[in-house]
Amino acid sequence: MSEKRTRRGLFITFEGGEGAGKSTQIARLAERLASAGVDIFATREPGGPPGALPQAMAIRRLLVEGEPGTWSAESEALLNYTQRIEHVRRIIEPTLARGTWVLCDRFADSTMAYQGYGHRLGRPFVERLHRLALGAFKPDLTLVFDIPVETGLKRALARAGAETRYERMDVAFHERLRRGFRAIARAEPKRCALVDARGDVDAVSARIAAVLKRRLGARLPA
């Protein structure tokens, strides 16, 4: 008798500019999905889950620390995909193969938005890089958190000790970043859902629950 094949887990990514509230909402969603009986694993980029991938964490430090002009757009994109290859091969793919849902705070769309749009590297470069590094691998669902730049930066800078070099980049960069995320959501409406990240935590959580019900048929406990 053949063994029953484990159904692959779903890969859900959370994207958006600085201060959009992704980390808070991932923690909330993970708790609610677990309460509904879903096996959940939460991770992040760059760097992967803390402690799991030392080499990827070293790249994270290179990317988020230092002055705004430390790296060229090309170098940032390549660094992001270097850690992403390890993250996917060592953590994400094996976890999905076990039937566990993976929730990831940032993934490839952040490279497209930050380097492709924010740093004006352009879509073709990032798209080619993604194909070379990961082929056709993409999330099953991407929640793109949309928030006005001024509101997001105010939230981000209010977090004690959380400032990164991206938060110190000029407002024009962050406006391009927001436009980039919105363009990504428009270009792939079957994969992406634009989520209004304004308002309180409960309001945003309700919007996410509505997306999961509509897209995946998932009913979350209150």
Q: Note the pLDDT tens digit of each residue in 87-120.
A: 999 999 999 999 999 999 999 999 999 999 999 9
Alpha-carbon distances of 210 from 29, 100, 222, rounded to whole Å: 12, 21, 12
102-116, 124-138, 164-178: lowest mean pLDDT where? 164-178
Q: By residue range, what is the domain housing residue 81? A: 12-216
Report yes or no on 33 lying in a domain: yes
Mind listing the pLDDT tens digit for each residue in 75-85? 999 999 999 99
49-53, 98-102, 178-182: lowest mean pLDDT where? 49-53
Q: What is the pTM of this model?
A: 0.93
Locus of tokens 């008798």: 1
Report yes or no on 173 lying in a domain: yes
CA angle 90, 16, 158 (to 5 degrees): 105
pLDDT tier at 4 (50, 70, 90 boundaries)?
low
Report yes or no on 66 lying in a domain: yes
Kindly provide the b/e burial profile for residues 183-207, where b requires at least 16 CB atoms within 10 angstroms of the residue's own CB: ebbeeeeebbbbbebbeeeeebbeb
Report yes or no on 194 lying in a domain: yes
Report yes or no on 27 lying in a domain: yes
Mind listing the pLDDT tens digit for each residue in 16-41? 999 999 999 999 999 999 999 999 99
Report yes or no on 222 lying in a domain: no
Q: Mean pLDDT over residues 148-176, rounded?
A: 85
Domain holding 158: CATH number? 3.40.50.300
Percent pLDDT > 90 in the chain is 83
Residue 3 has pLDDT above 60, yes or no: no
Report yes or no on 1 lying in a domain: no
Cis amide prior to 46 (ω within 30 degrees): yes
pLDDT tier at 163 (50, 70, 90 boundaries)?
low
CA distance 11 to 96: 7
Work out how many domains the chain is built from and give that number: 1
Report yes or no on 5 lying in a domain: no
